[in-house]
Amino acid sequence: MSDDKKPDAPSAEATTTDAVTPGELVETTTVGEPIKIAERKGMFGSSLGNDTSGYGGLNRPVFFPGTAGKPYGGYFDALTDALEVALARNGGSYEVAVERVVVDRGELTLFVPREQLPLVARTLRDEPTLRFEQCLSVSGVHYPQDTDRELHAVYHFVSITNGSKRVRVEVAVPDSDPHLPSIVETYPGVDWHERETWDMFGIIFDGHPALTRILMPDDWPGHPQRKDYPLGGIPVEYKGATVPPPSDRRSYK
């Protein structure tokens, strides 16, 4: 990056590691086995089973990028090294806290066990060489076929001080025990994001100050963004009356 791009490059650290431009594919030297996360059936993946393409019997595994080997490329090596040192100083361990590192499409993803998330989040924020000031969003993803890891919470962090560096932290929890420690204490800005993820996916963030529904009505049953939740077709109760879904309103359907 040239100098004129950052009007106030805040620290020396920003210049010591070269940033990866967005979208640039970082070629890692060794990549582990791809992770099978689901199996797609049929051609179009119709949820109703009415695949008319003639390929309804197709079974194809879905492989997600596998574990990356060092060097990760770009600033990712410096970042993970700094995290390793800082975690050790804070009484944690990198081997325990980061179960898997994935480098894909120019982005670094750290898979973190749920009990380690608060420590990792705090370290990412407070360590001077990391300084991820903001947790931008919490996004849920539901992988119904990823046994015992059905619900994923995906956190995106940005470090403004160190030149807009980004890291993604992904935490997987089983559907049968969807508990995850909240990081509102460290990043107050994720309050609503965690509420949205609870609302849409049913991930329970332990320690959240007020984990209530945020987009859906307070008494709504179910979590709409889950894969087993249908699109539409849900009657809505409003002030004692039941409003049928649009597809059921017409007598000539």
Partner 1 sequence: MTARTDAFGATTHDVDDDTPVLNAVGGDWDDLVDEATALHEERIVVNMGPQHPSTHGVLRLILELDGETVTEARAGIGYLHTGIEKNMEFRTWTQGVTFCTRMDYVMPLFNEAVYCLSVEKLLGITDQIPARAQAIRVLLMELNRITSHLVCLATGGMEMGATTVMTIGFRERERILRIFEAITGLRMNHAYIRPGGVASDLPAGTIDQVRENLPLVRKGIGELEALLNENPVLKGRMCDVGYLDLTGCMALGMTGPVLRATGLPHDLRKSDPYCGYETYDFEVPVRDTSDAYARYRLRVDEMYQSLRIVEQVIQRLDENPGPVMVEDKKIAWPAQLAVGSDGQGNSLDHIREIMGESMESLIHHFKLVTEGFRVPPGQAYAAIESPKGELGCHTVSDGGTRPYRAHFRDPSFNNLQAVAAMAEGGSVADVIVAVASIDPVMGGVDR
Q: Least separation, in Å, of the C-beta of 94 and partner 1?
A: 23
In whole angstroms, the minimum distance from the beta carbon of 224 to partner 1 comes to 6
Tell me whether residue 5 or residue 253 sits nearer to partner 1 (CB atom): 5
| Minimum distance from residue 138 beta carbon to partner 1 (Å) | 9
Alpha-carbon gap, residue 224 to 234, rounded angstroms: 10
- Residue 253, Cβ density class (10 Å: 0-12 exposed, 13-18 middle, ≥19 buried): exposed
Provide the minimum distance between the beta carbon of 114 and partner 1 in the complex, in angstroms, as a whole number.
19
Q: How many other CB atoms sit within 10 Å of the CB of residue 31? A: 15
Measured from the CB atom, the residue of 92 and 197 that comes closer to partner 1 is 197
How many Cα atoms within 13 Å fall on the side-chain side of residue 198? 23
Of 67 and 225, the one with the shorter C-beta distance to partner 1 is 225
**In terms of CB distance, is 129 or 137 closer to partner 1?**
137
In this structure, the dihedral spanned by the alpha carbons of residues 78, 183, 101 and 93, taken in order and rounded to 10 degrees, is 70
Cα gap 171→154, rounded to integer Å: 6
Q: Name which of 66 and 174 has its Cβ closer to partner 1.
A: 66
DSSP per position, 27-70: --S-B-PPEEEEEEESSS--TTS---SS-TT-EEEEEE---B-S
* Distance of closest approach, residue 93 Cβ to partner 1, in angstroms: 27
Q: Would you tell me which residues interact with partner 1 (CB under 8 A)?
A: 5-8, 21-25, 37-38, 40, 43-45, 60, 62-65, 104-107, 109, 133-137, 139-142, 154, 156, 158, 160, 163-164, 166, 168, 187-193, 196, 213-217, 224-225, 229, 231, 240
